[in-house]
Amino acid sequence: MKLSVVLITILLSMTCIAHAGSHSLSIQKNEDTLNFYRGDQPLLTYNITRNVPPEGVDPVYGRNAHIHPLYTPAGQVLTAEFPVDHTHQSGLFSAWTRTTFQGRTVDFWNLRKKEGFVEHREVLKVNKDSKHPSFTVKMAYVDLTSGSPIDVLHETWLVKLVSADEDHTVFDIKSTQLNVAKDPLIIEEYHYGGMAYRASEQWNAQAQPTPPTSPLMQVVNSEGLNRIDSNHKPTSWVQLYGDLDGKLASLTVMAHPDNFRYPQIPRVHHVAPYFVWSPQVAGAFTIKPGDTYTSKFRYISSTGQPDSSKIKSISKSFK
């Protein structure tokens, strides 16, 4: 009888260990991607290899150096790639729009102009720490307007998984842009461009066979402003949410207090499901040769819409 009890206890213990292990945090690298997991559940994918647009779409829109898919803890996909209305937007990506370099106008955002683009260059580090796995990658802002490609900025992303459970996944991106050219890059005053998020096509009214009668994606910011009122209003965080696969899902993005012109200004589109941190809305600025421009952001992907108290709690540790 005692032996049976001991065996049952051992089996239960082994089951608990296996269950705990199945929810451990990890990172996996292959030739094409870097991936965060919680147990067997994928959390996000960074694309090393250039993803090719679908048939019938101009190959100029091919992209790497971005995060897609980004998942909620329930497996809902929060991001889109090659959306029908803005094909140049993919997942979480970084690009300046109206810039001046060597006296020429360079747009790294709108790929159809063929003035510039951003591409992945190198995986610098993969940290397999079981509590906070992370990776560091390098990408390049390439100018095409001189007749031959010129690297203007080298941008590194340090992407760190902070925590993940059944309700929320929290990760940080630290972006550092180094001017590697011999001339300054002027980021001109403009209404969008920067660190961006393109949301699921399920939130895109233009992707639906029947026009929806109400907005598919809602927005609220740290000041309680909605999608229309939050555009170009300085804020510390923006939350986008709506129905995905029959369940409520959300992504909250926080800007770090050390960021340039904090609280930063976002471009929140009134129709398309995307937003972008755009400090140049407040005026032009320059990244000189050899200088760096650093910004930090925290992302919270959620099944359901986290309440303001949860957001405040998470933001307190983002210091």
pLDDT in tens, 266-302: 999 999 999 999 999 999 999 999 999 999 999 999 9
Residue 280 structure tokens: 């140049």
User: How far apart are the C-alpha atoms of 65 and 57, rounded to whole Å?
Assistant: 19
The answer to whether the beta carbons of residues 89 and 111 sit under 8 Å apart is: no
Q: What does the pLDDT read at residue 193?
A: 98
- How many separate domains does the chain show? 1
Amino acid, single-letter form, for residue 19:
H
* pLDDT for the residue 22: 53
- Residue 6, phi then psi, degrees to nearest 5: -60, -45
Write out pLDDT tens, residues 158-210: 999 999 999 999 999 999 999 999 999 999 999 999 999 999 999 999 999 99
DSSP per-residue string spanning 117-180? EEEEEEEEEEE--SSS-EEEEEEEEEE-TTSS-EEEEEEEEEEEEEEE-SSEEEEEEEEEEEE-
Three-state DSSP string of 220-251: EECCCCCCCCCCCCCCCEEEEEEEECCEEEEE
pTM, full prediction: 0.91
Q: Structure tokens of 246?
A: 């029959």
CA 84, CA 122: separation in Å to the nearest integer? 30
Q: What is the mean pLDDT of residues 227-252?
A: 96
Q: What is the pLDDT of residue 14?
A: 44
Q: Which residue has the tokens 């990172």?
A: 27
Omega cis (within 30) before 69: yes
Q: How far, in Å, CA of 104 to CA of 52, rounded?
A: 29
Q: Encode pLDDT of 115-168 as tens digits.
A: 999 999 999 999 999 999 999 999 999 999 999 999 999 999 999 999 999 999
Segment 216-241 mean pLDDT: 96
pLDDT tens, 299-317?
A: 999 998 767 778 888 888 8
The pLDDT value recorded for residue 202 is 96
Rg (CA), the chain: 21
Give the tokens for residue 165. 């459970």
- Whether residue 72 contacts residue 302, with contact meaning beta carbons closer than 8 Å, is answered with yes
Backbone angles phi, psi at 152, to 5 degrees: -100, -50
pLDDT at position 309:
79
Residue 21: the pLDDT is 43
Match 């032996």 to its residue by tokens: 3
Supply the pLDDT for residue 316.
82
Tell whether the model's pLDDT for residue 258 goes beyond 50: yes
Residue 4 has pLDDT above 70, yes or no: no
- Range of weakest confidence among 4-8, 104-108, 126-130, 209-213: 4-8
pLDDT digits 0-9 by tens, 31-89: 999 999 999 999 999 999 999 999 999 999 999 999 999 999 999 999 999 998 999 99
End-to-end, the C-alpha distance of the chain in Å comes to 56
Domain that holds residue 148: 2-316
